[in-house]
Homo-oligomer: A and B are copies of this chain.
Amino acid sequence: MYLVIYDISDDPLRTKVAAFLKSKGLTRIQYSAFVGKLTSSQLRDVVAGVKLLTRGRDSERLNVQVFPITESQYEQRTVIGKTYGEEDVVVT
């Protein structure tokens, strides 16, 4: 399982990255965070795709981090506040 978190100050670029992550089957758990299961080749696709989308783009803040996590870590996480829309739908 992977957790993708990003900080992209350029609105159109951020929207593109979010749409791309969603198209790769990841589930949005926060405004700038997605989770989902990825095979190693799917992971390579996601990383390559984000690099392509963001290369040469001059967004003041542009940082994307992809963490390997386990399902139990995902389930053990603590959530405070309002649940994001799609949070409980985990892509299998």
Q: Which residues of A contact B (CB under 8 A)?
A: 3, 5-8, 29-33, 47, 50-51, 54, 61-69, 73-74, 76-84
Contact = CB atoms under 8 A, between A and B. Distances in A.
Nearest to A81: B62
Contacts of A65: 29-30, 33, 77-80
A65 B51 CA distance: 26
This chain: copies in complex: 2
A92 B17 CA distance: 33
A80 B51 contact: yes
A78 B63 contact: no
Most buried by B among A66, A67, A79: A67
A61 B83 CA distance: 9
